[in-house]
Structure 1
């Protein structure tokens, strides 16, 4: 916490994805593709960061990564909804 990570590391890439992906999801722009990318990121985070400490999320503190993966999966399938910027675009994503 409070430290910086070089952009070339997986933590740097994860930080950029989470920051800009979170902003795009908040405003509802490109919700489905961004959410799909973040699903993949959370699954990778679980298997690289948590799974080596045990198979069950309760024992390896991976609950939050899996919860975010499920939420992003819901957004990837359902989209941003009626109040998103995506809904106002002339094309569908």
Structure 2
């Protein structure tokens, strides 16, 4: 949940100018700017979906991919190691979301609630020989 909240906060900062705005300078990224605006949309929407646990695995996969892109396209050009290129946050988000993809949603997620509701309302299957 914390990973989703923090990721959504980054997206809100970039798109809406809250929490110091884009790059901490109080502004926003112009609509449609590649890759900043699209990354911010993924951060905001994906972060909220992971926070709620709704479409968790696919949302986390998209979020992980966006952070892998950020790391390899932006940070790795500077240096290989995250401590040298400023890519620690991208690497941490990437691997955290990948872990969520593997482990799936938790028991308090919307996905889990939907699954439990479907199990309770599913009709009993009758086996015939």
TM-score by length of 1: 0.90
Flag the structure with higher helix content.
Answer: 1
Are 2:81 and 1:56 aligned?
yes
Q: Which has the larger radius of gyration?
A: 2
How far, CA to CA, are the matches of 1:7 and 1:37 in structure 2?
20
The residue that corresponds to 2:111 in the other structure is 86
TM-score by length of 2: 0.67
Gaps of 5+ in 2: 1-23, 119-129
Q: How many residue pairs are counted as aligned between the two chains?
A: 91
Provide the secondary structure at the position in 1 that maps to 2:80: coil
The equivalences for 1:1-93 within 5 A come to 1=24, 2-9=26-33, 10-90=35-115
Aligned-residue offset at 1:7: 2.9
How far, CA to CA, are the matches of 1:89 and 1:63 in structure 2?
35
Report the RMSD for the aligned CA atoms in angstroms.
Answer: 1.2
Structure 1 residue ranges, 4+ long, deviating more than 6 angstroms after superposition: none
How far, CA to CA, are the matches of 1:73 and 1:58 in structure 2?
21
Aligned-residue offset at 1:6: 2.3
Listed one character per residue, the Cα deviations across residues 5-55 of structure 1 (whole Å, up to 9, x for unaligned) are 123221000111101111111111001000000110000000111111111
Gaps of 5+ in 1: none
